[in-house]
Structure 1
């Protein structure tokens, strides 16, 4: 089964992270990693109620990190951890994060 996370800022800026040969991240560890990144990057809740869904965290972290964290080989480990956490937290093998569209597809 195919397993990958794609983070895109539009077609020329789509970053595919293949998770086929990577050890899966445990669900609770994935949620903790996303929580830590959300806080460290100063992300704000997307909803007026202040409730932060896992999907919101995944979107906000990608937006806060910017394309460089996905494009630059120096951030490869971070991008891989992001992809592993997103895949594990949502329990989905294939995810597309559309940053400008503020949408996730799986």
Structure 2
């Protein structure tokens, strides 16, 4: 399956990934768990439960635009793992507005 993941940090600051294949959803969730802890992400939710989309958005936010620009291997891992967790052909991670669109 072909995946297209766009990570946006604002108008003129987007990172575009076109991926074939990927990783298993369980491995992808584990990767996000590790990155979430490593980056010391903090998400407050009314239920206290952190959803997969919250992890994805928080990891992108706390990693920052610089990591996507300067660490292409890490950025590609982020995109592959995002595609595996969400299982959609087209995914837009909008960090500026803290939302994910399909």
Contact 1:46 1:56 survives alignment (8 Å): no
Count of residues paired in the alignment: 102
RMSD over aligned Cα atoms? 1.3
Which residue of structure 2 lines up, in the alignment, with residue 5 of structure 1? 5
Q: 1:49-88: CA deviations, max 9, x gaps?
A: 221000000000000000011112xx11100110011100
Structure 1's consecutive aligned runs of 4 or more residues displaced over 6 angstroms after TM superposition are none
Query: TM-score normalized by structure 1?
Result: 0.89
Q: Take 1:41 and 1:96, find their aligned partners in 2: how far apart are those partners? A: 21
Unaligned runs of at least 5 residues, structure 1: none
CA positional deviation for 1:4: 1.4
